[in-house]
Amino acid sequence: MNILKNKKILLGVSSGIAIYKAVDLSSKLRKLDVDLNIVLTEDAKKMVSPTVFSAVGNCPVYTDYFNEVKDGWIPHTQLSAESDALIIAPATANIIAKIANGFADDLLSLIALAFREKSKIIVPTMNTRMYNSPALQRNLELLKKDGWIIVEPEVGHLACGEIGKGRYPDNEIILEFLEDSLTKKTLIGKKVIITAGPTVEPIDPVRNITNKSSGKMGYELARAFSYSGAEVTLISGPANINIPYTIKNFVKVNTALEMKNEVMKYFNDSDIIVMSAAVSDYRVENYSNIKIKKDKDNLIIKLKKNPDILKEIGKIKKDKQLLIGFAAETNDLINYAKRKLIEKNCDLIVANDVSKKEIGFNSDFNEVYIIDKMGDVTHVEKASKREIAFNIVSYISNNYYSR
């Protein structure tokens, strides 16, 4: 789901050695089909030509206030009024001080002063001693009070040769902040547990039993719920996926028993429980504390059934809680999913056919069927897992929490 498509985004660029990364940000915004405008400060214009930004962003670039005023069109009032979001990246200590204290002596600071009640994001980028100075930190606090979203800089090697906090963050993180700020908050106050990824059952210290789940669907659901305003606890088995920045409570587990214990910790206080993890059905009964040598032609491993976490919490869930299970099947999808919904006492089951390679494990795409207690089936057509996740959250918001 492209949250940003057709949104009017205003990118403000101040001078700083990280300005080249703002060129990349404008490129990424263009590819997301936003309606983009760019404003450069005078110093930024000296570092990178407006022509470069215009070509990469395929958009107008504004620099000088006096040259832009024509035919009754006043740039700072028009651009601030028409835009859905303002991002300033990179933001120098100078532009931060201006905005925090109400100075407006160039086009970008004029726009910032006039920008109200909408998404305002600022990305401080500078030398670590400048960033940690009391004056800069005081100004950032003022910006927060005025409704600005601060994207914290990263720690690392800086252009000046020092090491510390001040590096321009990855543009994907800035885009996450932007997407989050522009998503309708339909689930504010709701606490959500999401399980994701596979579980791993050890055979010995170097071998284990697991499955093909990548965790992508669960992580995208965590993103979608958190963007919608919910307080999300993501409990994940091993997964090679970046945790969405909006997830404040991330719990890493390995085995099914560990996952069960963590789910139970948060269960009573949760409004919505989404069991999207592919939990191992069995664990090894005769685990070896030392590596098993391959000195035999045959090795017998005894397996013991793991607890059915979904079924157990289905027995104790409260009426106010919404329990959502997942059914990954290879045949007779809808019938198996309906049976699982009843047996596990779920409110909803999300079913998908993992026999299809293009939507199966590790794929970036999915196609699902949402089945409720009445047996009604809603088909969500093949799309990216991010879009599927937002469709699932939209379904839940509209059918269970709309006012």
Instruction: Tell me how far apart the 2 most distant CA atoms of the chain are, in Å.
Output: 88
C-alpha span between 158 and 140 (Å, rounded): 20
Residues belonging to the active site: 160
Domain 8-181 coded CATH 3.40.50.1950 = yes
Q: What number is the average pLDDT over the span 332-345?
A: 94
* Residue 359 confidence (pLDDT): 77
Calculated CA dihedral for residues 122, 128, 131, 133, nearest 10 degrees: 180
Residue 21 has pLDDT above 70, yes or no: yes
Residue 159 has pLDDT above 90, yes or no: no
CATH 3.40.50.1950 range(s) for the chain read 8-181
Q: One-letter amino acid identity for 53?
A: F
C-alpha span between 37 and 58 (Å, rounded): 9
CATH 3.40.50.10300 range(s) for the chain read 191-400
* Residue 357 confidence (pLDDT): 76
Residue 175 has pLDDT above 80, yes or no: yes
* Residue 329 confidence (pLDDT): 83
* Residue 298 confidence (pLDDT): 87
User: Exposed/middle/buried for 166, CB within 10 Å: 0-12, 13-18, 19+?
Assistant: buried
Q: How confident is the model at residue 69 (pLDDT cuts 50, 70, 90)?
A: low
* Residue 72 confidence (pLDDT): 66
Cis before 90 (ω within 30): yes
Q: What number is the average pLDDT over the span 87-104?
A: 97
Among 371, 350, 367, which Cα is nearest to 358's?
367
Q: Tell me the pLDDT tens digit for each residue of 230-249.
A: 999 999 999 999 999 999 99
Give the global pTM.
0.90
C-alpha span between 166 and 157 (Å, rounded): 9
Residue 68 has pLDDT above 70, yes or no: no
Residue 362 has pLDDT above 80, yes or no: no
Residue 34 has pLDDT above 70, yes or no: yes
Instruction: Give the rounded percent of residues in the chain with a pLDDT score beyond 70.
Output: 98
* Residue 264 confidence (pLDDT): 97
Give how far Cα 235 sits from Cα of 117, 164, 239, 266, 274, Å: 35, 31, 11, 10, 10
Cα angle, residue 381 at apex, residues 35 and 234 outer, rounded to 5°? 80
* Residue 158 confidence (pLDDT): 80
- Tokens for 217? 């669907």
Residue 180 has pLDDT above 90, yes or no: yes
Burial letters for 65-82: b for 16+ Cβ neighbours within 10 Å, e otherwise? Answer: beebeeeeeebbeebbee
C-alpha span between 304 and 31 (Å, rounded): 50
Q: Tell me the pLDDT tens digit for each residue of 274-305.
A: 999 999 999 999 899 999 988 888 888 999 99
Q: At 287, phi and psi to the nearest 5?
A: -60, 140
Residue 335 has pLDDT above 70, yes or no: yes
As a CATH number, domain 191-400 is: 3.40.50.10300
Instruction: Give the rounded percent of residues in the chain with a pLDDT score beyond 90.
Output: 82
Q: What number is the average pLDDT over the span 168-185?
A: 96
- Tokens for 199? 């579980």
* Residue 403 confidence (pLDDT): 61
Q: What number is the average pLDDT over the span 126-140?
A: 96
Strand segments, DSSP code E, in 277-341 are 282-284, 303-305, 322-329
Separation of first and last alpha carbons in the chain: 24
Residue 108 has pLDDT above 90, yes or no: yes
Q: How confident is the model at residue 29 (pLDDT cuts 50, 70, 90)?
A: very high
Q: What number is the average pLDDT over the span 368-386?
A: 94
Residue 157 has pLDDT above 90, yes or no: no
C-alpha span between 77 and 211 (Å, rounded): 56
Q: Tell me the pLDDT tens digit for each residue of 72-91.
A: 678 888 899 999 999 999 99
